[in-house]
Structure 1
Amino acid sequence: MRVIAFLAAIYVAFTMPDTAAAGMLAQAQQFTGMHEVKHNRRLRAALGINPARTPWCGYFMGMIARKAGRQPPKSYSFASSWRHFGAPVRLSYARPGDVIVVRTGRGYHVGVLSALSKSTAQLIGGNQSGRVQLSQFSRRQVVAVRR
């Protein structure tokens, strides 16, 4: 009986992160196209801040994580804090739904992986050209992959 319980626990431990990651992608996709000015009221209510005045990619990811049943990092409003979310994953093993942190000039941006090619990571995230949308980032910009 203990062996069966142990094996069941291992199964849950290894399958749960994938399910949670997929949940984050599904949650993010529901907001695709929402603009920080055009949809300000709805985004302001969901994020708890005015996205037209505040950098909001971290706030968006915090909301998405909570909706998917995950605990965002303590300072989730800062994109760089997502480098410590969940468990680390090598970029070569990244899957849709994983959290990706990219370096953008002197700062960071965070989003949910939608697709990965040989040269780019396609992320869905908030505050990408002022809206929730899919954007391409070079794989060289990726500083963290978290599941």
Structure 2
Amino acid sequence: MEKYPKDAQEIVMKALRKIERNDLANDLENIPRVSGVERPQATGVDAPGKTADSKIVTEKQLMQVANKIGKAWRKIGILLGISGHKLEQIEENHPRDHVDRVYQMLCLWRKQQRKNATAAHLHAKLAELDEDLEDDDIDFLLEEGV
């Protein structure tokens, strides 16, 4: 395994926080520090043994969901825990493209949720929140190998 110099982890965490990637900085911070910090092994979404319940939702899945969400996207965003201010920013940045607006909202949700942003979690939230969204429209989130 590759070792990092002792202070390299701290330098990288500071750089990540400076570019507002606190999610990555927090992940790096959780790695135990020993006389040399071992590089974490890649644990990709499609790692063997991962179930649909534990896979982080993909960009492709977010786009598929974005195509299913209608005019109630702001309500869904609020109920997913996204601030009204952030939703306004998204709307200003994507005034003409509804699907892209919803996609950006879902990407923000994924970023906020970090390791909890699984396909199963998103499915459960959407099924609970939007009565206009049919279960059949989002059941693909629960399928293996998507």
Q: Give yes or no for TM over 0.5.
A: no
Based on CA coordinates, which of the two structures has the bigger radius of gyration?
Answer: 2
Task: Report the structure, 1 or 2, having the larger strand content.
Answer: 1
TM-score by length of 1: 0.29
